[in-house]
Structures are given as structure tokens and as C-alpha cells.
């Protein structure tokens, strides 16, 4: 929200009340939802002023965990932006979405990309599309509509407003992925390894895998397989990131295990 403008001649009391109202209006909460915990941050503008983690003891306990996390923030009546971990998401490559002649056809194309793999349950999902360059493939994301509705109703009943909802994968990609027409991005998070690849500014591959105990070897094997399948050059820019609670950080790729991968990634 833009700062309040104060007219000349206003009293000091009015000035103080307006400044306080402007500060409160900038308050927002960011919730990151994992299968077994909610991490949260209270922000004033872009500054994090408080943060914490609330455990989720079972899938049925998510709603109560959300209410508990909101109480811990000591904030009220503000916007809540939600980031959903890859545990709750599905992704699919959509070939040339620019060929669609209407929004209805675009929605049908995006939905079909999931139905080929997941079947009729796709009818209960909320699907969004991220475009590539003109004429190139897009990336569709899907989440259970019931989960979104539960988040929205819980927040509104507690006096909050649901703001932006986005996958942790895309938020991490937007912050840390290497720039350029070709690249690979990998995100390590609770129980999941996610990989994205793009060529000529179009999405070409997305993978979600259970995270193994030897995740470094898993990353190397997955990268080698992607490069082979897509014909990517050995020096294709890549970045690995790790997300835990509220912390997103770039990682260096461990030394290769005789598979010809570069030993460092761009920061």
C-alpha cells in the first residue's frame, strides 16, 4: 500500500495515528506449508520482524496448526501469503500453450496434461500455467482445490485475508535459478527433490522425487539423466537450492562421481 499523505497543519496526534496506521497496513504473514510443519514469518514491508515453526502432528491437524501459527505471530487482520511445498503440488509440461485460441481451450490443454497421468481426479484440482517464451512449452502447476478452500476459510474465519498462493518450487526458482535460455534448477526440501529444466526459454522437464538419504548422489544421477534425455551440454547452467523452515539457500554441487558433471554451480 502506498504511504499515507499527510496534509500540512495536521496535529502531532493525527500525524502519529496516521503513521501507525500505515505501519500496520504494511504488515503481512508468509506461511510455508510442509507435510509435518508450518513455518511462518511476520513482515513489515520487506523486513522480517518475527518468525517461527508450528508442528503438524497429522494431516487432520493442519487446520489447528494453522490457527496456532497465526496466534504466534501476534498479528491480526492482515494478508497471508502461502507457499505450498512440493508434497502438495503436481506439475506438468504443456506443449505450446500459445496455440490455444481461447481461455477455455487453454484450460483444457493444461488439464489434459495432467489427466494423461493422473486420470479423473484432476477434476478436483486447481490448475495454473506459467508461460515460457512465445511458441515454447509452458509449465502447469496443480493443487487440490479442497486444500485451497480450507486455507481460505480458516484464514477468513480468523480475520485474515488469503493473499498469493504459490509453490515453493517456483518461489525458489524465481529467487535463485540461473538466468539464460537454457538451465537446470533443483530444489531439496522436506521429503522431496524437485528438478526443473528449460531450453530456448521454454520449459522442457519437471520432476518430483522422494528425497533419498544420499541426496547428493540422487541429484547427480538425476542431473546426468536429464542432460542425456534432453541433449543438454555439460556446461549447462545449473543451481541447487535447499529449503528448510524459513531458510532458502543456494548449494554447491558435490564433486561428481565419474559422470562428467561440473563440480560447482552458479551462486
What is the 3-state secondary structure of 210-254?
ECCCCHHHHHHHHHHHHHHHHCCCCCCCEEEEEEECCEEEEECCC
pLDDT value for 100? 87
Structural contact between residues 98 and 134, judged by C-beta atoms closer than 8 angstroms? yes
Average pLDDT over residues 216-220: 92
The yes-or-no verdict on residue 216 having pLDDT over 80 is yes
pLDDT tens per residue across span 28-40: 999 999 999 999 9
d(CA 33, CA 209): 18
User: What is the rounded distance in angstroms from the CA atom of residue 131 to the CA atom of residue 100?
Assistant: 12
CA–CA separation, 247 and 267 (whole Å):
16
Note the pLDDT tens digit of each residue in 53-91.
Answer: 999 999 889 999 999 999 999 998 899 999 999 999 999
Predicted local distance difference test score (pLDDT) of residue 257: 53
pLDDT in tens, 142-176: 999 999 999 999 999 999 999 999 999 999 999 99
* 154 to 60, 65, 99, 168: CA distances (angstroms): 14, 11, 39, 21
Residue 20 has pLDDT above 60, yes or no: no
The yes-or-no verdict on residue 47 having pLDDT over 70 is yes
What letter does residue 37 receive in the DSSP assignment?
A: E
Please write the tens of the pLDDT for every residue from 115-138.
Answer: 999 999 999 999 999 988 888 999
Query: Residue 41: is its pLDDT beyond 70?
Result: yes
Residue range 181-198, pLDDT digits in tens: 999 999 999 999 999 999
3-state DSSP call for residue 31? Answer: strand
Residue 253 banded pLDDT, cuts 50, 70, 90? confident
In the three-class reduction of DSSP (H, G, I as helix; E, B as strand; rest coil), residue 66 is classed as helix
CB contact at 8 A, 164 and 193: no
Percent of the chain whose predicted confidence (pLDDT) is above 70: 85
Residue 7 banded pLDDT, cuts 50, 70, 90: very low
Do residues 249 and 265 make contact, with C-beta atoms less than 8 angstroms apart?
no
* Distance from C-alpha of 133 to C-alpha of 107, rounded to nearest angstrom: 18
**Half-sphere exposure for 138 (CA within 13 Å, toward CB):** 21
Amino acid at each position: 500500500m502506498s504511504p499515507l499523505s499527510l496534509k500540512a497543519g495536521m496535529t502531532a496526534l493525527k500525524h502519529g495515528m496516521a503513521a501507525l496506521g500505515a505501519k500496520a497496513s504494511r504488515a503481512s504473514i508468509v506461511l510455508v506449508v510442509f507435510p509435518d510443519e508450518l513455518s511462518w514469518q511476520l513482515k513489515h514491508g520487506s523486513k522480517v520482524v518475527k518468525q517461527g515453526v508450528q508442528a503438524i502432528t497429522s494431516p487432520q491437524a493442519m487446520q489447528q496448526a494453522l490457527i496456532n501459527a497465526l496466534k504466534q505471530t501476534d498479528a491480526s487482520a492482515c494478508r497471508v501469503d502461502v507457499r505450498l511445498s512440493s508434497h502438495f503440488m503436481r506439475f506438468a509440461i504443456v506443449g505450446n500453450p500459445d496455440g490455444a485460441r481461447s481461455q477455455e481451450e487453454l484450460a483444457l490443454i493444461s488439464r489434459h496434461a495432467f489427466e494423461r497421468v493422473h486420470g479423473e481426479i484432476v477434476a478436483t484440482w486447481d490448475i495454473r500455467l506459467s508461460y515460457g517464451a512465445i511458441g515454447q512449452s509452458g509449465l502447469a502447476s496443480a493443487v487440490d482445490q479442497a486444500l485451497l478452500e480450507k486455507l481460505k476459510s480458516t484464514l477468513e474465519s480468523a480475520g485474515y485475508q488469503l493473499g498469493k498462493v504459490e509453490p515453493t518450487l517456483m518461489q525458489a526458482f524465481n529467487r535463485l535459478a540461473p538466468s539464460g535460455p537454457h538451465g537446470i534448477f533443483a530444489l531439496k526440501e522436506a521429503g522431496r527433490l524437485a528438478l526443473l529444466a528449460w531450453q530456448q526459454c521454454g520449459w522442457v522437464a519437471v520432476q518430483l522425487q522422494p528425497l533419498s538419504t544420499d541426496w547428493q548422489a540422487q541429484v547427480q544421477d538425476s542431473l546426468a539423466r536429464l542432460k542425456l534425455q534432453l541433449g543438454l551440454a555439460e556446461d549447462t547452467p545449473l543451481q541447487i537450492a535447499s529449503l528448510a523452515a524459513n531458510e532458502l539457500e543456494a548449494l554447491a554441487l558435490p564433486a561428481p562421481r565419474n559422470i562428467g558433471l561440473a563440480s560447482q554451480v552458479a551462486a
